Structure 1
Amino acid sequence: MSENTTHPTELTSQYVSQVTSDLEHNTKEQERVTTELAALHEQLATLQQDHTVLLNMQQALGVPASPPEPTSTTAATVPSPRKTPASASGTRPPAKKAPSQRSQDKTEVAKTAQPTLVDLIHQHVAEQSEPRSAAEIAEILRQAHTQRTIDTKVVRTTLENLVAKSRIQRTKQGSSVFYTATGTPEPTTASEDEVQPETAA
């Protein structure tokens, strides 16, 4: 009898030990997964912020954010079922401009209303007599244009695009990068004006 009672006791203690070990392992796994989820949430938030910045930069560069909507879906949702054919034909929506013309008109209106971020950055760099970093340019533009949201990352990317287009040039001093305006050729009108015909007297 003593042997029969001892065996179940040892088996029970083994089960208890195993369950305790499994519980500890389960708790550690929960902590690990929770930590990974928190890190993934941070990565997602960062990606969403970068997405917003890229969209703002795309808009500042004048690139259309999405292709124009197909006219078939628009035409299907415009008519109202309560209108008679005569009233529907008499109240047609105004003819839409072509997407390219519409975007061109919007660009022209935006230019007359306020300069784009690209123009602001290029103009600021052109007015400087010494190199400036992206952070300095962003800070100066933020102070000069308080009504606009100017992000340093967007300014740096815009500067690199201007460098790629040879509109400004980049210099590196140690680990810092500075931007200056590219040299423009001397205008030829002044030299032509200086040359006066000898027979003018």
Structure 2
Amino acid sequence: MTDTKTPTTELTSQYTAQVANDLERNAKDQDRITAEIDTLYEQLRALQHDHTVLTSMQKALGTMDTAAEAAPEEVEVPSVPRQKTKAQPASGKRVRAKKTVTAQGSETVEEPASEKPEAAVETSAAKATRPTLVELIRRHLTEQREPRSAAEIATTLGQAHPERTIKTTVVRSTVEGLVAKSLVQRTKQGSSVYYTAAETPEPTPSAAVPANDQPEAN
């Protein structure tokens, strides 16, 4: 009987010690968690207080913005004095002036409209009087004794008239148009095409009518 009771007593002592340790650990965990809850609760109360203050500030600022929009500040803008334009010398050309109005309703300085430069007028006149490409091609082919290709014609005319842009494709189409009108003759040598000026027959002078043979006026 004594041997049986001894192991049971030892086992009970072990369980008792373990339970006591668990209870102590549990109590410590409760204290720790309670302290954390208190800390978080204090932080929550501080955040709630800050939220209330910020909400009040937001409402106050919103009221101030509404009042500012309802009564905008008036800023006095000085008007720009009107300046007199200088008299333009008489040059035979009419000069139109433009008037620009500012946002305040005052007129600014009148600026004369830009006149057409004389160089542009001279350029337009020169373009109107210079010979056409058809005339240049016919003149060139008349002066040449040998057939000329479209590329050769374009190169020669481009060197003689550097102010003009003469392309081979344009020359070829122009010469073909002259061929269709029988003003230029076309010959083909292999895969190359050459052009020569067509021989224009000399006009036959009309026979003079004797004065006696002329019909009398009724």
- For normalisation by structure 1, the TM-score amounts to 0.39
Q: Taking CA–CA contacts closer than 8 Å with sequence separation of 6 or more, which of the two structures ends up with the larger relative contact order?
A: 1
Larger Rg: 2
Name whichever structure is richer in helix by fraction.
1
